[in-house]
Amino acid sequence: MRISVIGTGYVGLVTGVCLAEIGHIVTCIDIDALKINLLRSGKSPIYEPGLEELIVKNMAEGRLHFTNQYNEGLIRAEVIYIAVGTPSNEDGTADLSALEDAAIAIADQISNDVVIVTKSTVPIGTGDRLKAIIEYNKSNDSVSFEMVSNPEFLREGSAINDTFYGDRIIIGSDSVKAAEMIEEINKPFQIPIYKTSIRSAEMIKYASNAFLATKISFINEISNLCEKLDADITEVAQGMGMDKRIGAHFLNAGIGYGGSCFPKDTNALMQIAGNANHDFELLRSVIEVNKKQQNILTEKAKRRFGSLEGLKIAVLGLAFKPNTDDMREAASLTVVTDLIKSGAVVSAYDPIAIDNARKLLPEEVEFLSNIEDAIQDADCVFILTEWPEIVNFDLELYVSKMGKPVIFDGRNCLDMTKIQELKIEYHSVGRSSIYLNHSYPVSPLPFQGNKK
């Protein structure tokens, strides 16, 4: 089938490349000419494992094309996916300007009947809004179109795998024919398909992300309680996750969620609820818990050292999660800025995200290309992203490079058993601290029962 994809960000590019991989003829459109030229050369503008190889392969086999011209990209398209960004406005609402621009371009260019698919994450009712915009602006009155909502559920860093081995494909449409057409396109993925109305599909995306964010904030609150009661959050989370009703996913305590989806989508859903006169108290608490959680390592360090003024602190991991160069809403943005404001001297390492980090972090930060140089003579280390290079780093090098190493692990990614064998002071989230082979738990709660 002939498919056009508008937008070559994380969602649009992965969608277009994977649709080409299963046999469709795909043209990806982006108004950024520099990005299109990069893609035509076989290079990806984003870091996503396996993506660049698929781009080169499908271009060579004639199924994947790139253009910055709408008239070239939309010609004879049977299906058009809209996958442009919907970033947050200052009030938390979704900015739909790029989406509306795409809709107007479609209205101006389509010359045959077409199905238009919204892939971007959009507020409930956006499908109806886009339909009205296209109907009002279309230049050819003889052309008909149908709208479909087909939200994505991709995780940055594993987006290719998620496309081919996802849990479900949601297809929302008020047209049976259009829904069946999108179902046919996706059949080669062999993933369960669930059909709904457009508005239900739009809500499924927001509700799914809000629920996952809720799990993260919940386990982080439990982790903070564990520290006060001398329980181990790793054991608690594992015990909880064994219950099939709860599940083990998204029960990893740490310094909170970030990225392009959870912060944006939870804030947007709060605004959607407010517009419907619904007080979403639970989600408001989820957002507040996450904001506080990002400061937990800095607070631990201040309690440990008294003052951070003049301390050399090595920050390991800057991207919001491993296997991506995405810095959007990354915890490092808050943590590193607070460290600099507190007078610390910060050296930072990330295997992929340094170029993006330079644009966003304070100019005082020294960026280094390897962990050894970053931790050399550091007073303490902050681990903010659980990259394999950081998780598997030789612990003995902390001792030899730092002398008396102090590690604050915001992702609970280091092996406490191994740390106890070395002269490393170690502070994590929801677990007892370790100092020179000794653990210092909190004092037990006093007995409050009645004497017999």
Residues assigned a catalytic role:
261
Q: Which of 383, 423, 379 is nearest to 399 (CA)?
A: 423
119 with 16: CB under 8 angstroms? no
CA angle at 166 for the pair 243 and 283, rounded to the nearest 5°: 60
Instruction: Give the span between the Cα atoms of 429 and 415, in whole angstroms.
Output: 13
First to last CA, the chain: 80
Convert 241-276 to b/e letters by CB count within 10 Å (16 or more is b).
Answer: beeeeeeeebbbbbbbbbbbbbbbbbbbbbbbbeee
Instruction: Give the span between the Cα atoms of 294 and 291, in whole angstroms.
Output: 6
3-state secondary structure of 29: strand
147 with 173: CB under 8 angstroms? yes
405 with 425: CB under 8 angstroms? yes
